């Protein structure tokens, strides 16, 4: 019996084995995004430890590390880990990715202060953030591919939606740990002194748990098939290469186009919204944190419901709903939030926006996975996505604040609207990937 025959296809796997595979992939994704967001959440406490005002060099490294490196490394991570996933396997790439994230978090937790080791401290922090950016850049495409390939044909949208559940969940856990430490366990002085190191130790420990789970999870049958099929040995040598990826220009363009509006909308209503509620709506920081936490929690719970819906009616109707409603409602919703008279009114408008955005976030991973053949799927999903996010998602907050500082905050509302409209054009002309999936199975 060949090794391939011992690798069960998703339809042949028991429910327990399938759930274990999905959990192993999803938990690793959760941990990676927790580590990513923990840096942002706790930077207000550790910044003075590494970047004293007296050092211009350290200040420069601080700026580069916080504002640039993370997003600049994501396309490189998308290329590197996507190539590894297509050549050496999804499991190998995902295991290496979470190991790298664990090392990055541990390095942050253990790095001495600037006072103790001088400029080497911010350099080590920068190295750690480079590793984290590389890791999280590779995580998206590989985990999206793994979840899509492990899912049954009839429930691929549902299973794949858990990628954004865990992505949002990582942000929620980082925020929850911060709130618990602030309110229940440590004083402000203790948080600045040593408490900020705790979440990074937690992240490193959780990464080791995820590493164990991933090292024991099944490889996907789709990858094993290409690996062992003697008829595609020569094609296998091309797997995961940018040259091979360029043979799919239409799919590449679709990934960029469908990601453009979705990533800007996501970062606007998740990451930037907390600052928007304080600076524009004039809520307190505590109120803003509460609204952000609750809205993201409900947003995470919406993802499987929308993913399941896509398995019933197709991917394209959800994308079109996001594109149409996003184009029509973005300006009115952001205007309404800005004019809210209280936190619960703002919460209501934000939830309307996040329901609309769910038409994109819940299924964007599976749509991209269904565009590319197995031998180039992880790179095809991860690399163009990471480039688009770096250029548009990563700059959304900066552009919003730039317009506000210039006295034209509403221009940003139109900017988001325009980007969503461009994506709507892509959704209108692309085929429904549920019906044209490159997985070679029937799911309708």
pLDDT for res 240: 58
Q: What percent of the chain has pLDDT over 70?
A: 85
CA dist 240 and 382 (Å) reads 11
Q: How confident is the model at residue 418 (pLDDT cuts 50, 70, 90)?
A: very high
Q: What percent of the chain has pLDDT over 90?
A: 17
pLDDT for res 41: 73
**Orientation angle between helical segments 56-63 and 15-50, nearest 10 degrees:** 150
Kindly tell me the burial class for residue 33, based on how many C-beta atoms sit within 10 Å of its own C-beta (0-12, 13-18, 19 or more).
buried
Counts of helices then strands in the chain (DSSP H, E): 22, 0
Q: Is the pLDDT of residue 5 over 70?
A: no
Give the closest residue to 148 by CA, choosing from 164, 136, 137, 159. 159
pLDDT for res 230: 45
Q: Scanning the structure block, which residue is given the tokens 């220009």?
A: 249
Do 28 and 143 form a contact (C-beta atoms < 8 A)? Answer: yes
Residue partners of 339: CB distance under 8 A and separation at least 6? none
Q: How confident is the model at residue 357 (pLDDT cuts 50, 70, 90)?
A: very high
Q: Is the pLDDT of residue 60 over 60?
A: no
Residue partners of 260: CB distance under 8 A and separation at least 6? 388, 392, 419, 422, 423, 426
Mean pLDDT of 311-322: 91
Do 394 and 233 form a contact (C-beta atoms < 8 A)? Answer: no
Provide the sign of the torsion angle of the four alpha carbons 274, 344, 263, 381, taken in this order: positive
Higher pLDDT, 188 or 197: 197
| DSSP notation for 362-379 | TTHHHHHHTTS-GGGHHH
- Neighbour-count burial for 328-351, b at 16+ CB within 10 Å, e otherwise: ebbeebbebbbebeebeebbebbb
Q: Scanning the structure block, which residue is given the tokens 């480039």?
A: 387
pTM over 0.95: no
pLDDT digits (tens, 9 = 90+) for 367-408: 888 888 877 887 888 788 888 888 887 778 778 878 887 888
pLDDT digits (tens, 9 = 90+) for 69-94: 677 788 888 888 877 777 777 777 87
Provide the sign of the torsion angle of the four alpha carbons 315, 317, 321, 323, taken in this order: positive
All structural domains of the chain, each given as residue ranges with its CATH number in brackets, are 1-225 (1.20.1250.20), 237-435 (1.20.1250.20)
pLDDT for res 228: 57
Average pLDDT, the chain: 79
Q: How confident is the model at residue 14 (pLDDT cuts 50, 70, 90)?
A: low
Do 145 and 85 form a contact (C-beta atoms < 8 A)? Answer: yes
Q: Is the pLDDT of residue 320 over 60?
A: yes
Higher pLDDT, 284 or 108: 108
> 183 is written with which tokens?
């309110």
């Amino acid at each position: 019996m060949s090794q391939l025959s011992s690798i069960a296809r998703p339809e042949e796997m028991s429910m327990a084995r399938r759930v274990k595979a999905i959990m192993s992939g999803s938990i690793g994704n959760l941990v990676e995004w927790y580590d990513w967001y923990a840096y942002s959440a706790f930077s207000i406490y550790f910044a003075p430890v590494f970047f004293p005002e007296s050092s211009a060099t350290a200040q420069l490294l601080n700026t580069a590390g916080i504002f640039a490196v993370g997003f600049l490394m994501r396309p490189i991570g998308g290329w590197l880990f996507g190539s590894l996933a297509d050549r050496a396997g999804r499991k190998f790439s995902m295991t290496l990715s979470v190991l790298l994230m664990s090392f990055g978090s541990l390095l942050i937790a253990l790095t001495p202060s600037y006072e103790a080791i001088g400029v080497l401290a911010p350099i080590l922090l920068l190295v750690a953030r480079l590793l984290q950016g590389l890791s999280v850049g590779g995580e998206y495409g590989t985990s999206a591919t793994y979840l899509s390939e492990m899912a049954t044909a009839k429930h691929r949208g549902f299973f794949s939606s858990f990628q954004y559940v865990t992505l949002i969940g990582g942000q929620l856990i980082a925020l929850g740990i911060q709130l618990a430490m602030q309110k229940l366990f440590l004083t402000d002085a203790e948080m600045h002194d040593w408490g900020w190191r705790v979440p990074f130790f937690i992240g490193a420990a959780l990464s080791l748990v995820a590493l164990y789970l991933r090292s024991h999870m099944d490889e996907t049958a789709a990858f094993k098939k290409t690996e062992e099929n003697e008829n595609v040995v020569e094609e296998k040598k091309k797997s995961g290469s940018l040259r091979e990826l360029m043979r799919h220009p239409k799919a590449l363009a679709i990934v960029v186009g469908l990601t453009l509006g979705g990533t800007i909308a996501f970062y606007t209503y998740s990451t930037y919204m907390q600052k928007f509620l304080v600076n524009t709506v004039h809520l307190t920081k505590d109120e803003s944190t509460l609204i952000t936490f609750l809205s993201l929690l409900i947003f995470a719970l919406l993802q499987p419901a929308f993913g399941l819906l896509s398995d019933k009616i197709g991917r394209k109707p959800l994308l079109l709903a996001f594109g149409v409603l996003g184009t029509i409602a973005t300006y009115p919703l952001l205007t309404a939030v800005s004019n809210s008279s209280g936190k619960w009114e703002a919460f209501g408008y934000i939830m309307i926006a996040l329901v609309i955005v769910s038409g994109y976030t819940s299924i964007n991973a599976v749509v991209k996975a269904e565009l590319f053949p197995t031998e180039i799927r992880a790179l095809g999903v991860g690399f163009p996505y990471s480039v688009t996010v770096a250029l548009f998602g990563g700059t959304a907050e900066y552009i919003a604040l730039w317009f506000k500082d210039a006295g034209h905050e509403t221009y940003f509302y139109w900017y988001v609207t325009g980007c969503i409209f461009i994506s709507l054009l892509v959704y209108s002309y692309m085929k429904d990937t549920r019906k044209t999936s490159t997985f070679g199975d029937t799911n309708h």
